Amino acid sequence: MPYDTTPAASATDEARRQLEICNACRYCEGYCDVFPALTRLTEMEPGAISHLASLCHNCRGCYYACQYSPPHEFALNLPAALAEVRQQDWEDYAWPQPVARLFHRSGLALAAALVAGFAALFAAIAALRPESGEGFYATLSHNAMVAIFAPAFVLPLVAVAISLRAWWRAIGGGRVALADITRAARAAGRGRNLDGGQGQGCNFERGDRFSNARRHAHLATLWGFLMCFAATSVATLMHYGLNWPAPYGFWTPPKLLGVPGGILLCLGTGALMALKLRADPALGAARVWGGEMGFVALLFFVSASGLALYAATGTAAVPALLAIHLGAVLAFFLLIPYSKMVHGFYRFAALMADRRAP
C-alpha cells in the first residue's frame, strides 16, 4: 500500500518506520512509557502512533542509546520523529484549525498577540478607569477585569476541549476511571518520563551525559503554574464567597500561593530556555523551535512581570506594570490552544490512556 504524501501522513509514516524497528529491537524498553506501550500494540495505526508521540517527553535518551541512529543506514531519530507527529497533531486537531496553522507558521504571531493584548488593555484602562478602588482596582476596576479575562479564560479552554475530544477519539481513548486519573497525575507530578527510567535523568541538553536539570525545570514550571492558578482561584472564592475583595496582605492564601508560585515559574521557565539553547534542535520539531521558545519566554514574562508588579505595590509604577502584566496574561490565555501549552493537556490525556486498567 503506497504511503500518503501529505505532511501529516509523512510524519506518521516516518514515525511508524522507526517504531517498527524499535519494536523489533526493544533495547530501550525501560527508558520511558513509550516503549512498554509500544510492545502492547498489535497494529501500528495512526491513532496508536499519536498516542505514543504524546507519551514521549523528548528526553532523547533513546537516541543516544540507539545502535541504529545516524550514521547507521536506518537513521533512527525517534525523538524528532515523535516530536513531528505531536506537532502535527496539535495543528490538525486544534480548533479553529487556521489559527493554529497561522501560529505555527510564524513565531511573530506570539509578538502580535502580545501587542494586541497590550493595546486592548490600555484601551480598557482608558475607557473603564474607576472613580475609586484600592490596589489594582484603583487602576482597572474589578468589573473591567472580569469582562476582559472571563471570556479570555473560558473560550480557549473550550477550544482545547474540542480539539482534545477529537484526538482522544482518534487514539481510541475510551472511558477512564478515577484511578486512571490518579495514576496519570502521579506520573506527571513526579516527572516520571523525564528521569531516564532509572532516575539518573535525561539527555536533553548534554548529549550522551545524563542530567536531571530538565526534569527539575519542568517540575518547577508545573508546580509554579499550579500554585499561581490556585492563588487566583482562592482569591476568586474569597472575593465572591467571603466578600473579601483585594488587595490582600502577604500572609493571606492568594499571596502565600502566588508569590512562591511566581518565583518557581520564573526559575523553571528561565532554566527551560537556557536548556533549550544548549539542546540539539535536530532531535525535536526543528521547524517550530522559535514558536516553542517564544511560548516559554512568554510564560517567563508573565511570572516575572507579576513579581515586578507585586514588588512595586504602592508606587507610581503600578499602572504601567499592571497593564503590561495583564497584557501578557491575556496573550498567554488566548494562545493556550495554539501554543505548546496545549502539550500539557495532550500528555496528561496520553498518560491516562496508558494507565487505564485492562
Instruction: For the chain, 358 residues long, give each residue's pLDDT as a single digit of tens.
Output: 333 434 455 889 999 999 999 999 988 887 888 998 998 888 889 999 999 999 998 888 889 889 999 999 999 999 999 999 998 998 889 887 777 666 666 655 666 666 677 667 666 665 656 555 666 666 666 677 777 788 888 999 999 999 999 999 999 888 888 888 898 888 888 887 887 666 677 888 777 788 888 889 999 999 999 999 999 899 889 988 888 887 788 899 999 999 999 999 999 999 999 999 988 888 988 888 877 888 888 899 899 999 998 898 888 888 778 888 888 888 888 888 888 888 889 999 999 998 875 5
Question: With b meaning 16 or more CB within 10 Å and e meaning fewer, what string describes 76-115?
Answer: bbbbbbbbbbbbbbbbbbbbeeebbeebbeebebbeebbe
Domain ranges of the chain: 7-89, 92-354
- Taking CA atoms, 39 is separated from 20, 52, 84, 183, in Å, by 10, 11, 21, 20
User: What is the DSSP code string of 55-105?
Assistant: H-----HHHHH-TTSTTSTT---HHHHHHHHHHHHHHHS-SSHHHHHHHHH
Question: What is the 3-class SS of 103-118, one letter each residue?
Answer: HHHCCHHHHHHHHHHH
Say what the pTM is: 0.86
Cα separation, 138 vs 136, in Å, equals 5
Query: Which amino acid is residue 358, in one-letter code?
Result: P
Cell of 181: 486519573
* Residues 326/121, Cβ–Cβ less than 8 Å: yes
